[in-house]
A = this chain, B = another copy of it.
């Protein structure tokens, strides 16, 4: 039996954008929106709301800024119940860039934050909630959080924030299902008035596994991306998630079509997924930055040296 409370958020364009400077063509984004709409996916996260004072739109594509007009160009004319989400990073957003919900095609704003910046995240999320948006706080790099600090962050979020959902984010793809169980139970034990979400990375081929594990322990907001597209190893493949969820409102077929037509060609030009240096970062609980750098150079297949450099880092 399915759990109707479960909501699926597709982050293909947002997390995938970290691999191409958010520079997807309108055609690609629109076909993604169309397929997600036909598949019955609840939300599509289309990019970041980053400040143009910090980032140049000469260097980055439009999905790093997500202007309302650009979003409207994607969605117009497509019959859809799929809501639009954007992400903001603590410290990288101009709150004045974001008008009231009633004037915007955006439905949900997700605030990405490290544990140590939780006060700033609460300020932002409450501000966006007051402007009429659905909101979430996504706690990044949770595999590095100290337990007592995480407890405090969860307590603050429960008491002080207007966020609808609090997300556990495995930024480094280093969680095993036992740790996911621990974190989701911990969140559920403290946060009673909000939903819990999971955003998993696939460095160790455990993004889908950890998402299922979170669902088992009553997380109701689950992130996926089409064909796993996302930073480095990517994310929980949306097509696997739909195959697992029993809700009859989901239809996998438009997603399969889109993978055939758009994602197989893309995968010839852009690398993501199960790549050994990303797996090494997952095992060693490290940010994939160094691995992404490695993959651009001539030592891209020099795994032993990379492993030893990552492992040695913490021993200095």
Contact = CB atoms under 8 A, between A and B. Distances in A.
Interface stretch (A124-132, A145-153, A183-191, A297-305): A297-305
Interface residues of A, number: 39
Interface stretch (A62-70, A92-100, A105-113, A236-244): A236-244
Given A279-B243, A283-B240, A303 B177 contact: no
A303 B258 CA distance: 10
B204 A205 contact: no
Contacts of A274: 228, 237, 273-274
Contacts of A273: 274
Contact of A301 (B206, B264, B279): B264
A43 interface: no
A134 to B, nearest CB: 30
Contact of A176 (B176, B212, B260): B212
A302 B260 CA distance: 7
B256 A276 contact: yes
A266 to B, nearest CB: 13
Interface string A144-168: 0000000000000000000000000
Contacts of A243: 204, 279-280, 283
Tell me what chain A mostly uses at the interface: helix, strand, loop, or mixed: helix
A307 interface: yes
A237 B205 contact: yes
Nearest to A227: B276
Nearest to A263: B276
Contacts of A280: 243, 256
A202 interface: yes
Interface in A238-272: 239-240, 243-244, 252-253, 256-257, 259-260, 264
Contact of A177 (B209, B228, B257): B209
Nearest to A240: B204
A129 B212 CA distance: 40
A213 interface: yes
19 contacts: A176-B244, A177-B177, A177-B212, A202-B205, A204-B208, A205-B207, A205-B208, A227-B276, A228-B274, A239-B276, A240-B283, A253-B308, A256-B304, A256-B307, A257-B303, A257-B304, A259-B303, A260-B302, A273-B274
Given A176-B244, A204-B208, A206-B208, 15 more contacts: A176-B212, A178-B216, A204-B243, A205-B240, A208-B209, A209-B209, A228-B274, A237-B274, A240-B283, A243-B279, A244-B283, A252-B307, A253-B308, A256-B276, A257-B303
Q: Which 4 A-B pairs have the closest CB atoms?
A: A209-B209, A243-B283, A256-B303, A260-B301
